[in-house]
Amino acid sequence: MNLDLDPLELSEMINVPSIPALLEDFYKLNHLGLAILDLKGAVLISIGWQDICTRYHRVHPQTAAYCKESDLYLAGNVRQGEYVAYKCKNHLWEVVTPLFVGGKHVGNIYIGQFFYDDETIDMETFANQAKKYGFDKESYLAALSLVPRYSREQVTNYMDFLTKLSIMISELSYGNLKLARSVSRISGSLQESEERFRALVETTSDWIWETDARGVYTYASPKVKDILGYEPSEIVGRAVLDLMPPDEAKRVARINRDYFKQPKPMISYENLHFHKDGRIVVLETNGVPIVDENGRLRGYWGIDRDITQRKRAEEALRATFKAAPVGLSIVKNRVLQNVNQAWCDIVGYSETDIIGHTTRKLYEDKREYERVGRSLYPQLSEKGIASIQTKHRRKDGTFRDVVVTAALLRSEGTSLEAVVVVEDITDRRQKEEALKESEQALRTIFDNTHDAIFIHDLEGRILDCNLRTLDLYGVTREQALSMHILHDFSSAENRLEQEPDQWDRVMKGETITFEWKAKRPNDGSVFDVDVALKRIDLGIGPVILSNVRDITQRKAAEASLRESEGKFRALVEHCGDGILRFDRNHNCLYANRFVIEQTGLPLSPSDFIGKSFYELGFPRDLCDKWQENVERGFKSGEIIRHELQQPDGKWIDVIQIPEKDDSGQVKALISSARDITEHKQSEAMLSILFQAAPLAICVVDANRILTKVNDYCYPTFGYSPEEMVGRDPRFLYCNDEDYRAAGEAIYSADCMAMELRMRRKDGKEISALISRSYLNGKDISEGSIVVVQDVSDRKALEEQLRQAQKMEAIGQLAGGVAHDFNNMLQAILGYTNIILSSLGPEDRHYGKLMEVEKAGEKAAALTRQLLAFSRRQVLQLRPLDLNQVIEDLMKMLRRLIGENIELNIHADSALGKVNADRSQMEQVVINLCVNARDAMPDGGRLSIVTQNIRLDDDDCTKYDLEKPGRYVRLSVTDSGFGMEPETKSKIFEPFFTTKEKWRGTGLGLATVYGIVRQHDGMIQVDSELGKGSRFDVYLPVIESVEEAPLLEGQPPPRGGHETVLMAEDDAPLRFLTEEILKLAGYRVLVAVDGEDALRIYREHGQAVDLLLLDVIMPKKGGRWVYDEIRAVHPGIRCLFMSGYSEDAVHTNFILDHGLKLIQKPFKSMDLLRMLRQELDRS
């Protein structure tokens, strides 16, 4: 039942007789003034108030108003079960806890009128206050000296008790109100129906019962269940004593005999009952007898109230005495009756040591004992309370400074009994002494603090300042003390009117802080400062403490920070990554626009705020994974990185960064999400490339241990990946020196691709091109990727290329020499032929001229070798069967190699044809056989083998051939002494020989090399010292065509009368050729170069029967002349002359078009024969 409390006053609600007595006992124990006030400030109960309040503060209207203001302030700023401390405007401390009745705040319990023992009492302030309000200063300050001092711990303990007491009073008062209302209603409703009476009884908060004359319950209200745990039906029929503990039942039985013998009301007597669950419940019983019309007792009506909590509170109060943190004692006529433990701790005596003894043993001497008695007890008798400072001697003989405060308990004649509080102030006295000694230290601290500190009066005049002030403002102390805080130290930029209430707040005791523009008086410079103002009371009165901190650097840093934050926000909004911020409930606090782009949801960033991923509509399995990672970030406080794939296939790389507060707890989580779909695709592609690359790729850690290798390491090194991973790569190097040198080279700061020696599993050395890249792009700390390319074959090809280039260079030189030499030989042999044709054998000069001709022919043969080596020889190419060439040379070869060498021929019967110059192929075979013979001076075996083979692209690369396909291989093998590598590398160089000077020219193999290369072939040598040599010649196969037969024994050519246009740029050859042709009867038109030939043809073209053109001439060569003449005379006959072909285009054109070419130096008969053949061609 809820009671209507509005009409009632607090005084009616707490009209419980035990409450004042309880508070009185509390006061006697700790001498702490108490009061209960209603919300209007009316004092209902007051105990132990200090004289300074009752005689002064509560008397003067202004100070009384302060008291009421303090009471009302406290009343409105505290909640049930709590308390608040407040220093009133009369400068004394008060503490309050509220009283609630039935859930309504109806009043407050106060303790007060005390000081904390750790604060300094400003006597000057109270002296000024006495003067201001007209109090007698001496008596006012005497009353002030009686105000007790408590430690903050003591006040906390007292208030913990009073808070619990207030709750008990609230419950008690509410119960009394209920009881009073119940009794009132019962009395007013006796004439109403039993039903309404029962309803009233059953709704009261107390247990209402009825017994018969024997003490057996005949009725129990439902409340019995709340109080004792029994249903009413379980109570009815049982005796009252049955529900009590045995000893209690005996005690109550004795009391009840009187009540049942002579009926009378039962008034608030306490008894113990068993609760149904076995615990003891303390009940307060009130009852009235029920008598019949004859006055005989029929039973009792009664009400039992559960006062268990109240009894516990009373027990707690008694325990408070013992457990109070201040020294408490009960003294009667200066004899100790009782003491608590805190008192024993102060004096060093136990209870048994001291109880029953006078306090005399606590004093140093009789004089001090009597002084305390004379001062303390008269005042105690008069005022009920007295206090004095003295010394107590401990049991061990040492002394403690104490304040003794006595509160009168009872007075009977001259007998006084009091509660005495002993406060040990030894430490406080020592602190006060230390405080005095530290004044100079505090001044030192004051002068050396980092902030400037002003002390100025309420008008702004500087009273004091520290050294930092002088340094910061650039003034002397004398200047500062003559200046005004606003007029001299403040910039005109400041606007005081912007904060009109600041000064009022400062004057009320509030500390205020603000930014200010300070000014240096001497130079007028302005700078930013933080100012903190606080009113403090000194002996001279109230002053202002102004703390000034230079924030110039901080302001600059803040400006920089704002700029940085702006840049950061711009970066976040334009970074391209999705940025999210989550609270501890995994709800989104921020999202940028890139989150929308990544997720593809039809939302804006603001739609994300305050929602989880589940609420935003993401798939549940994705949300579960996301939530798990977010929670892991909050719990671990670590940066977490993970990847996830969205339903649309996008891959997202997520970095979660914890945002921590000052205590290190994660308060939020920032997530950066980047779309790495392309990266994942590239990663997959790179993984494929890693395995597919035709390079050995190794991943090594910071210690050079192999952590991953690709499959191509197997063909490169011969090791499987399983055999390599986890090992130091030392096993891939030939020796420790190579391994060390490789490490220094690869891991140097400027590492470039480099060649190193390495070793395969089979022991074979390889040349490896190695490059290195750091995994993190900067150093070896996270490992490296090392790429190895086996360049052994390439190095061999490079060596071949260098050899070919060297041969080409030498060939160019040799060809040039041969060309000029051929021109000279042509003149010598030509004129010799002319002279010989005019002489007979009998002429004495004929033999000499024949020797000249032989010498010229030998010289011509030598130049042909040079031309063959330099590939400048003009070839007469035709389909050729190498087997036939070898067979035709057999007789010659057997004579050349001698009888001590065994010759074996192994010919492929289905050998393909090659497009070759027969005479050149003969020279190749002869030179190779002669070279083999010279390698076997003591005899041996020589074999010649021909066979068809097919070469692929790799073979062509290996053998330096132009295109893959069918080839004929001619192999010449000897069993001679072989060659070392150095000799083998030089054998195709012209003029290089290992023979004696008189045995060779050094052109044999060089000539073979040149002929083979000019035929689009290649020659390879395989030789080992002591095991002989094998030369392999590769020539491309052509479609089978019948080989043209050789013409032998041709008759001398006949002359003619036709007109020949001859063009030759070499003057001696031009004259010689003209002479040969004229002697044969031909008409000759002579041109000195190509343009001259065209000019002559334009003049005599109709008469010209044949063109005899040098291939290479100044201005225009033979081909261009032929092309221009053929354009106007398509059928013109032509014979070309050439010492060699400088440009293959020329000779290829001549031969490919079926034209004739005669190679210099030529005999006159050969020229005339070919000329005649061309003229006679139909």
Same domain, 993 and 947: yes
Q: Is there a single domain that holds both residue 808 and residue 781?
A: no
Q: What is the CATH number of the domain that holds 619?
A: 3.30.450.20
Q: What is the pLDDT of residue 968?
A: 94
Tokens of 183: 């009794």
Q: Is residue 21 part of a domain?
A: yes
Picking from 647, 676, 705, the residue at the C-terminal end of a domain is: 676
Residue 843's SS3 state is: coil
| Identity of the residue numbered 913 | K
**pLDDT mean over 497-524:** 84
Task: Give a yes or no: residue 1054 inside a domain.
Answer: no
Per-residue pLDDT of 778-809, as tens digits, reads: 888 888 888 888 888 787 777 766 766 666 66
Alpha-carbon span 1094 to 1127, nearest angstrom: 12
Is 479 within a domain? yes
| Pairing state between β 578-582 and 84-87 | unpaired
> Distance between CA 242 and CA 235 in Å, rounded?
10
User: How many angstroms separate the CA atoms of 14 and 21, rounded?
Assistant: 13
Q: Label residue 774 by pLDDT band (50, 70, 90).
A: confident
What pTM did the predictor assign?
Answer: 0.32
Tell me what percent of the residues of the chain surpass a pLDDT of 90: 22
Of 970, 1004, 1038, which marks where a domain is finished? 1038
- What domain range includes position 665? 572-676
Lowest-confidence region among 359-368, 437-446, 575-584: 437-446
> Is 980 found in the same domain as 841?
yes
Q: 499-513, 993-1007, 1044-1058 — which one is most confidently predicted on average?
A: 499-513
The tokens describing 79, both together, are: 């909640």
Residue 65 lies in a domain: yes
Same domain, 301 and 247: yes
Q: How confident is the model at residue 1142 (pLDDT cuts 50, 70, 90)?
A: very low
Within a domain: 460: yes
Torsion of CA 1098, 1104, 1108, 1110, to 10 degrees: 0
1068 CB-near residues (< 8 Å, 6+ apart): 823, 827
* pLDDT at residue 9 in the model: 63
Both 999 and 874 in a single domain? yes
| Band of pLDDT at residue 1048, cut at 50, 70 and 90 | very low
Instruction: Report yes or no on 879 lying in a domain.
Output: yes
Any domain includes 178: no
100 lies in the same domain as 158: yes
Sheet containing strand 651-660, edge to edge, reads: 588-591, 578-582, 666-675, 651-660, 640-645
Q: What pLDDT, in 10s, does the model give residues 809-829?
A: 666 666 666 667 777 777 787
Query: CA-to-CA distance for 623 and 631, rounded, in angstroms?
Result: 12
547 and 605 part of one domain: no
Residues linked to residue 240 through DSSP beta bridges, in sequence order: none
Q: pLDDT per residue over 892-925, tens digit each?
A: 888 888 888 999 999 998 999 998 888 888 888 9
d(CA 1156, CA 1111) in angstroms, rounded, equals 11
Task: Specify the CATH number for the domain of residue 1017.
Answer: 3.30.565.10
Same domain assignment for residues 956 and 1034: yes
Cα–Cα dist 1037/1057, whole Å: 44
Nearest CA-CA partner of 321 in 253, 421, 249, 226: 421
Q: Are residues 79 and 145 in the same domain?
A: yes
864-875 confidence digits (pLDDT tens): 655 554 544 556
Count how many domains the chain has.
Answer: 8
More confidently predicted of 1070 and 688: 1070
Residue 537 φ/ψ region, left for φ over 0, alpha for ψ in the -120 to 50 degree band, beta for the rest: beta
Statement to judge: residues 281 and 340 lie in one domain: no
Kind of pairing between the strands at 297-306 and 327-332: unpaired
Average pLDDT of the chain to the nearest whole number = 82
Q: What local confidence, expressed as pLDDT, does residue 1154 receive?
A: 64
Give 1136's contacts (C-beta < 8 A, 6+ positions apart). 1109, 1110, 1111, 1118, 1122, 1150, 1155, 1156, 1157, 1158
Same domain, 134 and 263: no
Distance CA(390)–CA(368), nearest Å, equals 8
Q: What is the CATH number of the domain that holds 1142?
A: 3.40.50.2300
600 and 465 within one domain: no
pLDDT band at 2 (very low <50, low <70, confident <90, very high): low
The predicted pLDDT at position 1123 comes to 92
Residue 855: per-residue pLDDT: 79
Asked, for residue 293, whether it belongs to a domain, the answer is: yes
pLDDT in tens, 927-971: 899 888 988 988 899 999 999 999 888 778 777 787 888 999 999
